[in-house]
Every structure is written in C-alpha cells, then in structure tokens.
Amino acid sequence: MIKQKVQAFTILEVTITMLISALLIGITYTSYSIIVKSYRSFTLKNEDMGVLISLDHILKRDFDQADVILKMPHGLTLKSEQKIIKYTFNQGFITRESVKTDTFKVETQLVQTSFESITVNDIQDIDEQNRLDDLSFTLLYQNEKIPHHYHKSYSSVNLIKRNPNAIN
C-alpha cells in the first residue's frame, strides 16, 4: 500500500484562524457601534440647534415686519397689514400660528414682556394697553440657559396712530 499525504490544515491552525477572525469581527463591530452612536448624537444635537436658530430667525423677522405687537394670555400677537401671527409659549414648546402652524420644541423660562421699559404682565380690555416693544425669555438647551431678547422700534407714524392727540 502506498501512503499518500493529504495536504490540510491542522485543528490548531484552524482554531487560531477562527480566534483571530473573531477578534477582528469584535473590534470592527465595536468601532462601528461607536461611530453610529456618535453620528446619532451629532445629528440630534444639530437638529436641536436648527430648531433654536429657526425660531430666532423667524421671531426676529416677525418682530421687524409687525406694525403692532400685543400681549395675549399665553403669548403674543403680531399684527401687520398683510397678516396676523400668534405666538403661544407653552411648557416644552412654542407654537406660531399664521397661515400654517409651526411648533418649536424648546423649553422656555422667564418670559417677560414690556412697553417703553414698563413691564406688561396683565391683559387689559383695550388692545392699546397690551402693546409691547420688548420680549425676553430664556431657552434651555442641553442644560444651558440661552437668553433671547427681541425689540420692536415703532415708527413715529405708528405711535401717532396710537394716540392721535399726541400731535397737538
């Protein structure tokens, strides 16, 4: 009988190869999960920051375009010749109602309104007594307090319409 040698790997060689493969797969999976977690965190942070920037931009624009800003029970109303916009400050979000309704998921604190440096807290029967030129509030973003302040400079024409006897 002729003995033939069969070329093959030993069990020890196969075991070592499988061990090295398992280590490489484990390292790859761990690094992949770290990258995915980091990407999700980055994306959520950017989305939250986008909401803050969008709210700030829209509020500034609405303040500039408004003819009159009035205090309402849970927010304010911005009136212009073209449209009326209502902002409502709720726990955990701010809503903006105009042609469509926008909701900004932000936590607000210390909402303060005033007209000519006099604080306007209570709602009066006459709209003119609810007029505002300042809005201040603090937003909570990732355990940080970010102050926001908006000011409306009324034109002299607008203020004369407010009090026609002021011309005399």
This prediction's pTM:
0.73
CA 57 and chain centroid, separation:
11
- What do you get for the CA distance between the two ends of the chain, in Å? 131
Q: Where are the alpha helices (DSSP H) in 11-165?
A: 11-65, 156-162
Instruction: List Cα–Cα distances, 94 to 75, 105, 106, 132, 148, in angstroms.
Output: 9, 7, 7, 18, 14
Q: What is the mean pLDDT of the chain?
A: 88
Collapsing DSSP states into helix, strand and coil, what is residue 150? Answer: strand
Tens-digit pLDDT profile for residues 128-150 = 778 888 999 999 888 889 999 99
Structure token pair of residue 82: 């073209």
Q: Are 128 and 162 in contact (CB under 8 A)?
A: yes
Q: Has residue 81 got a pLDDT over 70?
A: yes
Rounded Cα distance between 18 and 7, Å, is 19
- What percentage of the chain carries pLDDT values higher than 90? 49
Residue 161 — very low, low, confident or very high, per pLDDT cuts 50/70/90? low
Task: Please compute the mean of the pLDDT values over residues 91-98 and round it to a whole number.
Answer: 92
State residue 130's pLDDT score: 84
